[in-house]
Chains A and B, each alone.
Chain A
Amino acid sequence: MLFVWFWLVAIMITGYVVLDGFDLGAGVLHLFIAKTDQERRTVIRTIGPVWDGNEVWLLAGGGTLYFAFPLLYASGFSGFYLPLMIVLWLLILRGIGIELRMHLEGTVWRGFFDGCFALSSILLAVFYGAALGNVVRGVPLNQERYFFLPLWTNWRTGPDPGILDWYTVIAGVVALLALTIHGAHYVAVKTSGDLNSRARRVASLLWPALVLVTIVSLWATLSIRPDALINYRRFPVLYVIPIAVALSLIAMYLHRRRNQDKGAFLASCAYLIFMLVGAAASVYPNLLVSTTDPALNITVYNAAAGSYSLSYGLIWWSFGMALAIGYFVFIYRMFRGKVTA
């Protein structure tokens, strides 16, 4: 049961990253690949009908996490207080940047909303990566299993870390690059002409950098958390996950070279999925590790809600998510194909 809920939460978060990831990537690229007002409108229209639904995966994922593991939600959300509040502000700016742009004419207004959209997307991608980095690195949980992290301390990963240290900054860079490429593939799929070719070029240019930071992040993870491979050693079949990450990167390259936009986009979806699944497989059954004392780790066992609500929850939760996936299939089919000027 706990194993199932752990993976349901992981799937929700992965779903969020894959879906809202291309919205964020499109935002990162917005100012760089779209030059004219028409092009900027086109970029926004590629995500216009879907971004709000994609963002709901964050809410539903956070809600599922709270429902299944209240202790993790309480401890993690209060401990990561400052970066979460900044994420909230950025989500607000991104939302109004996308939605209100079309309501107001004028170069200055549109420039303002374009700036909101692009800047918030860039920072959100970095913060999400850093957040994942914090979970992998661990936090100084106290006896009550609470903690509070400042934004930065001495940039080291030692016993008194901040949200940002050298390791989490690497994670932030990985996320920024991965989501930018993901967004570039998505924009390439949904557009034609100049926008399409610029998006393709960005994806090709950034690909070697993504390979490099993926390897660096793997090395960095193993150097600060030598125990990250415990589950992998116990179940060697798990090594297919890093292999799948490598294959996704290769597939991304091959599809990109042949200008197969959809294939390249699916490869970047696979890359994100396997990176996150690999991280989840490495931490289980821990949810948040303590840098001070392993006995204080928050695990699926000590964080879970009561068994009545978890077993009953499987029924209505699965039903609700099946409906939600149905809406998604419907909406993506309605708005399929390239956005035309």
Chain B
Amino acid sequence: MDSALLIHRLHFAFTATFHYLFPQLTMGLALLIVALKTLALRTHNEIYNQAARFWAKIFGINFILGVVTGIPMEFQFGTNWSHFARVTGGVIGQPLVMEGVFSFFLESAFLGLFLFGEKRLSPKAHWWAAFLVFFGSWLSGYFIIVTDAWMQHPVAFQRAADGSFQVISFWGLLLNPWAILQYAHNMSGAVITGAFVMAGVGAYYLLEGKFTEHARVFVRVGVISGFIFSALQIFPTGDLHGKYMARHQPVTTAAMEGLFKTETGAPMVILGQPDEEHQRIDNPLVVNKVLSFLIYGTTTAEVKGLNEYPKDQWPTSIPLLYYSYHIMAGLGTIFIAVMAAAAFLLWRRKLYESRWLLWIIMLCLPLPYIANTAGWMTAEIGRQPWLVYGLMRTTEGYSKYVHAGNGLFTLLGFMGLYSVLAILFLVLIHREIAHGPGAITDHAYAGNPITVA
């Protein structure tokens, strides 16, 4: 592989992966904070407001890291992928500017009001501030998914005489079926991260015997939402997205599943290592006929393997794609198992005393981050070797006048800077969790409300 191409791919992959650690939590948490604020309004129980305030602090730190690591994403289409940006700007320029105009202004305006305005707003007005932050962040997610979905499944465009892509239907682009399915699956994944973090922190407090009143709220809200969204993640969102993908990117599906040869009644590979050279799975653990059933709803259907497609259309990193997908799916299965057990014990009123399960919930806290990352890797590695599926190859899109030396310089710069950010983030989050909910804070705005002169 040409080294400039490799570096530009790593540049985007690294910055995007690091960036998405933060929005997945803020989008998920935003919904849960709105739920807590709603409970506070309904029940007039101050504990829900205290819980919302605690999570707003965690949210605020994550949000600021999401903002500062998000700006480079919008620049990198032009800086590192200039030819792609030039050829497809007539299409993807639209969702990208819509995100700025419709979401970022909304979020930035109401975030300050939500984080620092509780004292000067009525409870209802503060609920609205929380809701608008949630709405803005979920809208922002939709525009990004529309952009990615168009690369996965290009619709509503025309090629101009110079080869550039131009949008021909505003709604056709925004309502790309791929975008709707991917959005449902992705946002559900974000809520799972939020739910596991909330429940995990609650479980930690219960195990430590600290802040137990608040911790029970965290565990309860986290487990109920975690259970609902872990189920939605598999059915219907994952199921429908997978079927749509099998129809439109069959070669990707074959690579994800490790299906080298076409089979009737194809099995699903649970474990095993793909061996590209001999085109088989080593040490396979398979369930017969399940893959055919999952894709076509019948155990006898034929599923096309990689052998049906020319090699220049195969995804470029089959083992990595296979593992990403299997890690995502495997973790998704674990999530539903853990959350179903927790929800059952919650219903039986035994959860807060079941220390073994609280331990498991706490230890599961990092796993949704891995699952969401692996899911995005499945989508993006699965799209290879294309930038625009079937129409523009990744090798055509990068900035060829930004040579490898310059690309590596800035990639190393980002790695260094993001290491500093990661350390700062961990210090700050550790501090907030040690502080706990209900503690009095010394925040610049919160402590000294800005008076109106």
Contact = CB atoms under 8 A, between A and B. Distances in A.
A3 to B, nearest CB: 19
A103 interface: yes
Most buried by B among A60, A85, A341: A85
Nearest to B400: A146
Interface in A72-97: 73-79, 81-82, 84-85, 88-89, 91-92, 95-96
Interface string A53-81: 10110111011101110110111111101
A49 B108 CA distance: 9
Interface in B138-184: 158, 160, 164, 166-168, 170
Contacts of B427: 104
A70 B93 contact: yes
A70 B164 contact: yes
Contacts of A306: 90, 158, 160, 166-168
Given A85-B410, A96-B68, A321-B101, A309 B94 contact: yes
A60 B105 contact: yes
A104 B434 CA distance: 13
Most buried by B among A76, A305, A308, A321: A305
Interface of B: 60-61, 64-65, 67-69, 71-72, 74-75, 77-80, 82-83, 85-86, 88-91, 93-94, 96-102, 104-106, 108-113, 116-117, 120, 158, 160, 164, 166-168, 170, 399-402, 406, 409-410, 413-414, 417, 421, 424, 427-428, 431-432, 442-445, 448, 450-453
Given A67-B93, A84-B79, A308-B167, A328 B109 contact: yes
A68 B110 CA distance: 28
Nearest to A74: B86
Interface stretch (A224-232, A245-253, A329-337): A329-337
Given A66-B85, A306-B160, A313-B94, A327 B101 contact: no
B312 to A, nearest CB: 25
Interface stretch (A26-34, A40-48, A124-132, A234-242): A40-48
A254 to B, nearest CB: 24
Task: Give the bracket for the number of chain A residues in contact with chain B.
Answer: 35 or more
Contacts of B94: 67, 309, 313
Contact of B90 (A52, A70, A340): A70
Given A59-B74, A147-B401, A327-B106, A100 B64 contact: yes
Given A73-B89, A78-B82, A81-B402, A67 B96 contact: yes
A307 B409 CA distance: 39
Contacts of B91: 309
A147 B402 CA distance: 9
A148 B406 CA distance: 11
Contacts of B417: 89, 92
Nearest to A332: B109
A76 B78 CA distance: 8
A70 B86 contact: yes
Contact of A320 (B61, B98, B108, B453): B98
Given A70-B85, A96-B421, A102-B444, A56 B93 contact: no
23 contacts: A48-B116, A49-B450, A53-B105, A53-B108, A56-B108, A58-B71, A60-B101, A60-B105, A62-B100, A64-B100, A66-B96, A76-B78, A82-B410, A92-B68, A92-B72, A99-B60, A103-B432, A147-B401, A313-B94, A316-B98, A316-B170, A321-B101, A335-B112
A149 to B, nearest CB: 10
B402 A78 contact: yes
B431 A56 contact: no
A59 B445 contact: no
A55 B70 CA distance: 12
Given A53-B105, A88-B75, A60 B421 contact: no
B85 to A, nearest CB: 4
Given A66-B77, A78-B401, A340 B82 contact: no
Contacts of A320: 98, 101-102, 105
Contacts, number: 233
Interface string A249-288: 0000000000000000000000000000000000000000
B93 A323 contact: no
Given A103-B431, A309-B166, A62 B68 contact: no
B444 A41 contact: yes
A49 B166 contact: no
Contacts of A316: 98, 170
A317 interface: yes
A43 B102 CA distance: 30
Contacts of B431: 103-104
Given A78-B80, A334-B120, 20 more contacts: A45-B445, A53-B108, A63-B74, A66-B96, A81-B406, A85-B413, A89-B413, A99-B60, A102-B443, A104-B431, A148-B406, A309-B91, A309-B94, A309-B170, A317-B101, A320-B101, A323-B105, A324-B101, A327-B105, A340-B450
A139 to B, nearest CB: 11
- 7 nearest CB pairs, A to B: A70-B89, A77-B78, A337-B453, A306-B166, A63-B97, A74-B86, A78-B82
Given A56-B104, A102-B444, A309-B94, A96 B64 contact: yes
B109 A330 contact: yes
Interface of A: 41, 44-45, 48-50, 52-53, 55-56, 58-60, 62-64, 66-68, 70-71, 73-79, 81-82, 84-85, 88-89, 91-92, 95-96, 99-105, 146-148, 305-306, 308-309, 312-313, 316-317, 320-321, 323-324, 327-328, 330-331, 334-341
Nearest to B398: A78
Contacts of A91: 68, 71
Nearest to A54: B108
Contacts of A317: 97, 101
Contacts of A78: 78-80, 82, 399, 401-402
A48 B450 CA distance: 11
B448 A305 contact: no
B86 A331 contact: no
Given A334-B117, A336-B452, A100 B78 contact: no
B68 A95 contact: yes
A116 B413 CA distance: 16
Contact of B82 (A85, A104, A146, A341): A146
A67 B97 contact: yes
Contact of A309 (B74, B167, B451): B167
